[in-house]
Structure 1
């Protein structure tokens, strides 16, 4: 299963793919993660208006697509209000060249020869991402985005698991979410697939007992609220700790020395 495929500690997990080298959560970013030697990749799943599962992080489309240039969609911005076919008409790559969010375009770390492929990127489906991960034997940390308030809230976990099984990708998967009820559902439906609790702002009380009550194999806290001492405590309790999003190499080394299983980073090429 997922953790059996990885080194004992200290691996680099490419956050939304190698998102400093290609547009996040695209198949190009996943390929860049492979190319730079990442041992796994993290990505995100949302449900569309027609019940399909798309790979995308934000709830709204402005930041990483050209939705502003589509007057036919002027009254819609939320990903949950679009069908998959509509989402696939959007350019999910050119923003990266214009925004240069990590300065890697200006520095030349993203070569000009990559620019045409970047402009051609679209929002992938989960099935495409799963097929990629199976083809490259690249473990995937899949975050199921919280669908509270949307039609997919009651169905996304089962829909994700159906696709995972269809793609024969279960052995490569770690399922994570900020909605910890989803983890309980996933554990009930697919007990063999490990789960991880995402957390920000503050840790739950009685953390070890809480994680065990969820059936979680791992804890994914924001590194800014986490100490090496907590990493050691959880590791000694038999829980894996994968920290997000760590882009400072000295801080990454500190957590690795404390026993962190993975460092989720925007810069896997520099790890």
Structure 2
């Protein structure tokens, strides 16, 4: 009998410890704990960002990826912004073009050259879609072959062009290589009506304090004060944005290596606060004790990059305010916002 009792206790102990952990997590950083902070700056809660577009389903940072993300109902279209040799703002993640284009075929002697050494006309000679078909054969489509690198202006057209009105979540990628890129981004967004004085319609919409969760049939982030968010691993770049467009929410990106470089998690948060920014940590850091520290400083937190539904559940339980995801379809489904589960219908709608 004693042995049986001991075995029962041993078997029950992990369950008890897990229950205690989640109770501790709930008390420290319950789901929804950052809702008010998000609404104060006009950002939807929870915010679902299509990381490089619907990049798990289509070639990242290309027209089909962003069209698909928009039609699915993403809150934000996220993009990495760089600049060509002749000054055109483009959406591209990597420093060079070897991973996501056929540059080795078109410019074999320049395959590892950085993007800023190419003119926009040169970049338009590249195929930015075929690599995806080879890497992700389960999602390959003939229509992806030959898709082009996208400009920021074209991304704005996509955000403005559908029934859903997502916001823009823009990262300055290696901004030290592109002096003045922050002003160029702000100037373009201002010229296109994304920054500056609110229209009467936007003021009316904002006064309703509606979020996509309040109106699940339509994304309307474009009409909210937080329609544009800028992000960067560079505090200097965020400081420039603060000077140029103080009304635009800023997010300081960081990972575990940043914490190690700066000495502590608190030091990273102080760096973010120094440029009046919010937090964009790696998903590996999405523990409730970190989320609680972020919220206690009046900052919202958006974690990257979360692609599995169990991860979304866990991070949501730990109080996250939003996530970046390559699989915006999975995120929308988890949060009960996916209008149609048949992805083929969305591909047909965007003509891809």
Please give the TM-score of this superposition, normalised by the length of structure 2.
0.68
1:113-162 deviation digits (Å, cap 9, x = unpaired): xx2331131001111112222334211110110133x3x2x211111111
- Of 106, 109, 134 in structure 2, the residue corresponding to residue 98 of structure 1 is 134
State how 1:1-271 maps to structure 2 within 5 Å.
Answer: 4-6=42-44, 8-9=45-46, 11-71=47-107, 74-75=109-110, 77-100=113-136, 105-106=137-138, 110=139, 115-136=141-162, 137-148=165-176, 150=177, 152=178, 154-170=179-195, 172-200=227-255, 201-203=257-259, 204=262, 205-216=266-277, 218-271=278-331
Residues 231 and 255, structure 1, Cα contact 8 Å, conserved in 2: no
Residues 286 and 315, structure 2, Cα contact 8 Å, conserved in 1: no
Q: Distance in 1 between matches of 2:142 and 2:190?
A: 34
Any runs of at least 4 consecutive aligned residues in structure 1 with deviations exceeding 4 A, and if so which? none
1:184-228 deviation digits (Å, cap 9, x = unpaired): 000101111111101122335434433221111x21111113422
Residues 48 and 81, structure 1, Cα contact 8 Å, conserved in 2: yes
Q: Distance in 1 between matches of 2:142 and 2:189?
A: 31
Q: Distance in 2 between matches of 1:5 and 1:185?
A: 21
Q: Distance in 2 between matches of 1:233 and 1:65?
A: 41
Give the superposition deviation at 1:270.
Answer: 1.2
1:16-60 deviation digits (Å, cap 9, x = unpaired): 001011100012101111232222221110011111111111011
For this pair of structures, how many residues does the alignment match? 254
Q: Distance in 2 between matches of 1:207 and 1:82?
A: 35
Give the superposition deviation at 1:65.
Answer: 0.4
In structure 2, the CA distance between the partners of 1:259 and 1:226, relative to structure 1 (3 Å rule), is: closer
1:50-108 deviation digits (Å, cap 9, x = unpaired): 1111111101101000101114x5235311100111111111111111111xxxx32xx
Residues 134 and 169, structure 1, Cα contact 8 Å, conserved in 2: no
Residues 84 and 90, structure 2, Cα contact 8 Å, conserved in 1: yes
Structure with more of its chain in strand, by fraction: 1
Residues 186 and 245, structure 2, Cα contact 8 Å, conserved in 1: yes
Residues 202 and 225, structure 1, Cα contact 8 Å, conserved in 2: no
Give ranges in structure 1 of 5+ residues lacking alignment.
none
Give the superposition deviation at 1:163.
Answer: 1.1
